[in-house]
C-alpha cells in the first residue's frame, strides 16, 4: 500500500520551498511528486519514505494536507504498458482519477502511482489480470 500526501499550496513564489524545507527539517525523503495547478493554487501530490512524519511536519507548518491510498505499480518500461492498465481497469468499470509515473533507470522498469475510484478492485485486477507487481512507499527506496 502506498500512502500519498496531497497538499494545498498557494501558487506564489517560495511556497514550494516552504513545503520542501518542512520535509527536509523532518528528515523526510520525497520519492515522487506532481503538481496540479489551477490558477491561484495547486495540489501537490507526493510519495515519501515516512508519510506519518511528513503529514505531521506539514500540519505543524500550517499546510493543509491529506493522506490517501494510491496504488503503486511496477511494470515493464515500454510502449503500451499504461494502455494495458487503463484498458483492464476501464473494461471492469474502474475509473482512473489520476496517474503519475517515473522510470527506474538501468532496470527498464516504470513505476505508476494510480488513484482510482475502487482501490481494492483495481489492485486485484492489476495483479490477477495483468500479472504486475504493486509496491508500498517503503519499497521505493529499494526498487
Ranges of each domain in the chain: 2-68, 70-142
- State yes or no: pLDDT of 133 exceeds 80: yes
Confidence of residue 82 (pLDDT cuts 50, 70, 90): very high
8 A C-beta contact, residue 69 and residue 58: no
Instruction: Kindly state the cell numbers that stand for 113.
Output: 502511482
CATH topology (fold) of 70-142: Alpha-Beta Plaits (3.30.70)
8 A C-beta contact, residue 2 and residue 46: no
Residue found by looking up cell 518542512 in the block: 22
The secondary element (H helix, E strand) that includes residue 70 is strand 64-76
- Dihedral sign of CA atoms 53, 36, 80, 85 in order: positive
Q: pLDDT of 26-46, one tens digit each?
A: 999 998 899 987 788 899 999
Q: Please provide residue 39's backbone torsions phi and psi, each rounded to the nearest 5 degrees.
A: 85, -100
Distance between CA atoms of residues 73 and 85, nearest Å: 10
- Dihedral sign of CA atoms 118, 120, 126, 132 in order: positive
Model pTM? 0.87
8 A C-beta contact, residue 45 and residue 4: yes
Q: Please provide residue 53's backbone torsions phi and psi, each rounded to the nearest 5 degrees.
A: -65, -40
Q: Which CATH number does 2-68 carry?
A: 3.30.2130.10
8 A C-beta contact, residue 74 and residue 109: yes
Amino acid at each position: 500500500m502506498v500512502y500519498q500526501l496531497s497538499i494545498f499550496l498557494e501558487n506564489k513564489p517560495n511556497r514550494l520551498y516552504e513545503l520542501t524545507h518542512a520535509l527536509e527539517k523532518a528528515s523526510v525523503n520525497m520519492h515522487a511528486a506532481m503538481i496540479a495547478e489551477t490558477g491561484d493554487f495547486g495540489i501537490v501530490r507526493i510519495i515519501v519514505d515516512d508519510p506519518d512524519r511528513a503529514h505531521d511536519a506539514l500540519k505543524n507548518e500550517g499546510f493543509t494536507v491529506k493522506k490517501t491510498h494510491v496504488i503503486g505499480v511496477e511494470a515493464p518500461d515500454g510502449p503500451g504498458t499504461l494502455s494495458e492498465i487503463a484498458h483492464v481497469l476501464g473494461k471492469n468499470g474502474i475509473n482512473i482519477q489520476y496517474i503519475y509515473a517515473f522510470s527506474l533507470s538501468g532496470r527498464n522498469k516504470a513505476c505508476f502511482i494510480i488513484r482510482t475510484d475502487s482501490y481494492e478492485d483495481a489492485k486485484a485486477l492489476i495483479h490477477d489480470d495483468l500479472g504486475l507487481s504493486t509496491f508500498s512507499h517503503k519499497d521505493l527506496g529499494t526498487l
